[in-house]
Structure 1
């Protein structure tokens, strides 16, 4: 185990910051699960920032566990994010999902990030 001071300090990607985070109750369940079983899914980095796994990263810091980090290996990260956050993004063709996609697609394009 690592102390929080020895852990890497990572920023959340600005595109991802605009989306809702995991709720308090779900975060508690995640933290308990990670305490019992460890981190089972990696924290995905895009452009050196957290793209997927904000709650996992927070739990690692709280638990003093070295985070498992992997780079995103896709040219277009938007479909990956929507798929990885399926429950928060909504059912296919739902108004919620369409709103998330409409927000993310332009923001993730080179024009949107400029």
Structure 2
């Protein structure tokens, strides 16, 4: 069995789909297949697709993934997630602050 993926800290700040939403997505994936892959870094950090991953697990289907090989993983997270969620101002501020720290760490490394 493969080890569980690590979730990027900025991605963890984005609210997860509800159990009902995951069940509906799992049913859709069973009926129609997984239409969008999850995005994972080369070292196994999930950037996008937590709900798809959980839905595939629920459906008993091996998830499709794509490997991100770029240098700005936080950009992938911010570009792919907030447009799918209705986030409160507090949550947006938290995500922005963590993203700023991640960028700072990346560029000061």
In which range does the TM-score fall when normalised by the shorter chain?
A: 0.7 to 0.9
* TM-score in terms of structure 2 length: 0.74
| Equivalent residue, structure 2, for 1:65 | 61
RMSD of aligned residue pairs (Cα, Å): 2.8
- What are the Cα deviations for residues 18-44 of structure 1, in whole angstroms up to 9, with x where unaligned? 432112232222112111101110011
- What are the Cα deviations for residues 60-101 of structure 1, in whole angstroms up to 9, with x where unaligned? 12222121111113211112211211232649xx66434312
Asked if residue 79 in structure 1 is aligned to residue 75 in structure 2, the reply is yes
Structure 1 residue 9 displacement after superposition: 3.7
| Equivalent residue, structure 2, for 1:29 | 24
Unaligned runs of 5+ residues in structure 1 are: 1-5
Confirm or deny: 8 A CA contact 1:31 1:59 kept in the other structure: yes
- Structure 1 Cα separation of the partners of residues 68 and 86 of structure 2: 19
Aligned length: 105
Confirm or deny: 8 A CA contact 2:40 2:65 kept in the other structure: yes
Confirm or deny: 8 A CA contact 2:6 2:44 kept in the other structure: no
